[in-house]
Chains A and B, each alone.
Chain A
């Protein structure tokens, strides 16, 4: 599972914000990440680490340089093609859970799987239940998303990220909103995904303790990678 070709590679990423004043947030960022790595990106607030993550996630396309996911260049791909890449290859866990409050927990987890359309609805449901069970929240499956506690919601978000067996899971401060107990649970889940399933993870965090326990730390400062 490990080594081989990089699953994510950036070549000379640069990005500026023009409003209100010209600020260059990323300057010639190039790095590669191999399959199965558990990588954290750390740095001071405003150093561009989140911006980099959203460029890697294909959601932000307004930048210079090239992003390759699984060897395929993302530059110039149309919006629906990028949406497909996110659906198929990337799982997201954000600081906020972003569950749809109108849907049950199970349905929330199933939605990206139904969108992918590789499996029948019944199969997607089985897969969703497997993931909820793995994360210890199978008993909450039929509740509405907003009836859960913060830690449980974040675990549902992780289950949702896992539904399509993504190439990589990206996290933007996934423990930022959680107390230390729940942070610990989320980290343990990530750790377990990495070691037992060989899941690649790329997590932006300002929690040094969290970062210290990952395989590799990418440190950023003022829009550049200072150590990888």
Chain B
């Protein structure tokens, strides 16, 4: 009863100043709508930009670095004296991951792992007339790559299935343009060992990073192993996708010890992306908070004005038995009603604006899968928005309400 009466009084006071109340609520609405739109858009862009690298980058890459053995055999033989070994060279053939299938089974059974994809990397030269263009053929499992690393999104021409045929290859788009070939044409390449192969182009790949598209090509594991003249258990890389990206550094460290391989985690490899994301988020949140603070000052002003106009009413409410606390509830209630209504409309307006932006065409060379502006619609943003609206209006209402609660009715009534 008590609350309903006080809120009823607040509503009546608001209705009597409908225009001002609407202006106040509109300022909150504007702040919240901008918050939702800005952060949603910013977050969508962040996701897109991060996706450029992060989606395709394994969370952990296991491989063998070509490097000299840390402890030379001569050092093991006699530990009493000093052993000097000069001109140490890495041994050939160390790229291969030994016992790869057992390692993959172990990774597949790890609960933290979302998926595992084996890779073989082959350095090649493409023969175009008399010139040779360097290239890297990544031997992959096309279906697993598509599932884990969005391979299909970047396949601008051709079909994923085509890669399963023998002697097929997917070329980087820039590379294909340089070689003047298209899907269906045949290219000739020379391996590091000097062997030549004819491969049919079954697709074009565009990552959005020009340097990457100039050299990187994809083929199935079997085709790549054939180019290299290696058996089907020859694997040089294992790409691991984790369920939680944040665990990557620790898990990488663990795998390094367990499997005796080099393990590169995504955090170490791409630290700058996280920084960029954080900075962009800070900017969009700061802008929205400024908007809301401005709205808060508007509410503060309107309430202060209202209290001066309503001194008589406050005095008589107190004279007839409403306590200072009741008066405070009335005026904070007023502010919160403005905040809730403005905030709710703001959420809807923000959603509408986000949808509108999401429909604006946006095509870029760099991002073949993207046709319109990316917008993030995750629900937590809307929760934060309404909480922001409530906090701002509560703070804006708090001081005027405290002033109202301290009005001395005797002063007002005797002043007449």
Contact = CB atoms under 8 A, between A and B. Distances in A.
B410 A59 contact: yes
B2 A102 contact: no
A112 B315 CA distance: 13
B324 A80 contact: yes
A100 B316 CA distance: 8
A115 B409 contact: no
Interface string A89-117: 00010111011111100010001101111
Contact of A88 (B316, B321, B323): B321
Nearest to B327: A83
B319 A98 contact: yes
A2 to B, nearest CB: 27
Contacts of A57: 319
Interface stretch (B10-18, B138-146, B189-197, B366-374): B10-18
Nearest to A164: B321
Given A60-B410, A114-B5, A83 B315 contact: no
Given A83-B326, A102-B12, A115 B410 contact: no
Given A94-B413, A100-B313, A102-B12, A115 B318 contact: no
A87 interface: yes
B124 to A, nearest CB: 83
**Most A Cβ at <10 Å: residue of B12, B318, B321, B323:** B321
A54 B318 CA distance: 13
Interface in A101-153: 101-103, 107, 111-112, 114-117
Contacts of A116: 321
A86 B325 contact: no
Given A80-B325, A96-B416, A98-B413, A86 B320 contact: yes
Chain B contact surface mostly: helix
Given A54-B410, A59-B410, A92-B320, A115 B5 contact: yes
Interface in B69-126: none
A88 B325 CA distance: 17
Nearest to A85: B321
Contacts of A96: 312, 413, 416
A45 to B, nearest CB: 12
A112 B414 contact: no
A59 B322 CA distance: 11
A115 B416 contact: no
A147 to B, nearest CB: 14
B331 to A, nearest CB: 14
A172 B413 contact: yes
Interface of B: 1-2, 5, 9, 12-13, 15-16, 312-313, 315-326, 408-410, 413-414, 416
4 nearest A-B pairs in the assembled complex, by CB-CB distance: A87-B321, A83-B323, A102-B16, A98-B316
Interface of A: 50, 54, 57, 59-60, 79-80, 83-84, 86-88, 92, 94-96, 98-103, 107, 111-112, 114-117, 160, 164, 172
